[in-house]
Chains A and B, each alone.
Chain A
Amino acid sequence: MADTPKTVFTNGTWKENPIYRQVLGICSALAVTNLLANTLFMCAGVIFTLALSSLTISLLRNLIPKRIRMIVQVLIIASYVMMVDITIRAVAPDIHRFIGPYVGLIITNCIIMGRAEAFAGQNKPFISLLDGIASGMGYSFVLIAIALVREPLGFGTILGLELPAKELWWHQWTIMVMPPGAFFMLAIITWIARCISAEKSKT
């Protein structure tokens, strides 16, 4: 049965979520989630790259020689990532100084190559674009959820804004600033998401 926009969207964001179902793109998920602003820029970059690379690869799918398809996919993905990298460096240099190395690593992000190889190479442009956006959003939901816990607990802020009456109740969880905090949060979110999925499949 052909994929409908609804199934593509549900799969990308929930049923086949790249982070907690496929366990892809974990490096950046752990690295950039201690501040929400960094996370949002990273998510925007990944959604942009996923959507446009899926669209481009789908548009060119009948022209790309099979023997060199992966080289072409990497070239297309790398070009979009460079555009994202230059744009973030120009628009938000402070954020780029922190997430810059990870923006470059979007090129090797398994989610993007995975969607290009598994979906965009065999499907029409619109549905491939939607698949790219949905997978990017699935990635983003998990990262934002982690950042929404790590930043308040680690820095006492959300998007750089101080939490209300912070001095009365807030105590820093240093581990949330450090990479192990992301491991714990990712495990908890994966656990919750899989419990909900299991409940739904039972009913």
Chain B
Amino acid sequence: MNKSSPLYILIFIVAISALFGFGVSMVHYSTEDMLARNLTLHRNRTIARAFDLSVEGKSSEAYQQAVATAIRDTVNIINNREWELFYRTDGRDEVGFIFTGMGFWDRITGILVVSSDLQEIRDIKFLSHKETPGLGARIEEKSFTDQFENLPIDWDAPLAEHIIIGPGDTPNTVDAITGATQTSMALMNMLNEELNAFRKAQVK
């Protein structure tokens, strides 16, 4: 058959797409269990770090055990929204919830731990984001997230300024990430809206 004929080209493209599609599918299928395990490990590790839990070892089971022992996980539907909440079982006065919102490129999801009276943020950890590597993706770095430890929430300030990421000298301010202004602003808006929604839902 002539290699330039439309029929040859069509058959060739279909055949090669099917062959390589099958190859990729096989690799995906053979790693499916590992990917699911990794996802669980990442989630438990993020919860453990957000609540500063002590974990014996670094295995998936160790994180699972630490979270199961110290955290009670519930899902409440309030105001048509599903809130995934984390309460400490040791009586410490803090509560965590899953926050989500648009970052610069895509949705950012994480866990925000706040004091039970909602007066301060205790910690923030991220579950997923697609911010620019080396710039916006630095929201995950310890130097950035450490600033949120015991950060007061100013409920008297306007909605957009309950907490501030950027310039300012008020106690509710954290430094933005250099070179990632859009991500910093998106995160600030998202956190303020989520904190406000959480307060309105009166989920404590």
Contact = CB atoms under 8 A, between A and B. Distances in A.
Given A68-B9, A90-B34, A93-B42, A83 B24 contact: yes
A64 interface: yes
Contact of B31 (A79, A90, A98): A90
A90 B20 CA distance: 20
Contacts of A83: 23-24, 27
A70 B24 CA distance: 20
Contact of B27 (A86, A98, A179): A86
B75 interface: no
A83 B133 CA distance: 21
A149 interface: no
Nearest to A60: B16
B134 interface: yes
B72 interface: no
B8 interface: yes
A31 B134 contact: yes
Contact of A72 (B16, B24, B130): B16
A76 interface: yes
Contacts, number: 60
A82 B24 contact: yes
A65 interface: yes
B41 interface: yes
B28 interface: yes
B13 interface: yes
Contacts of A76: 16, 20
A91 B41 CA distance: 13
Contacts of B144: none
Contacts of A68: 9, 12-13
Given A67-B9, A89-B35, A93-B38, A102 B133 contact: yes
A88 to B, nearest CB: 10
Contacts of B38: 89-90, 93
Contacts of A87: 27, 31
B34 A91 contact: yes
Contact of B16 (A67, A75, A90): A75
Contact of B12 (A31, A64, A93): A64
A65 B23 CA distance: 22
Interface of B: 3-4, 8-9, 12-13, 16-17, 20-21, 23-24, 27-28, 31, 34-35, 38, 41-42, 130, 133-134
27 contacts: A31-B133, A31-B134, A60-B16, A64-B12, A65-B8, A66-B3, A66-B4, A67-B9, A68-B12, A68-B13, A71-B13, A75-B16, A75-B20, A79-B20, A79-B23, A79-B24, A83-B27, A86-B27, A86-B28, A89-B31, A89-B35, A89-B38, A90-B34, A93-B42, A101-B133, A102-B133, A179-B134
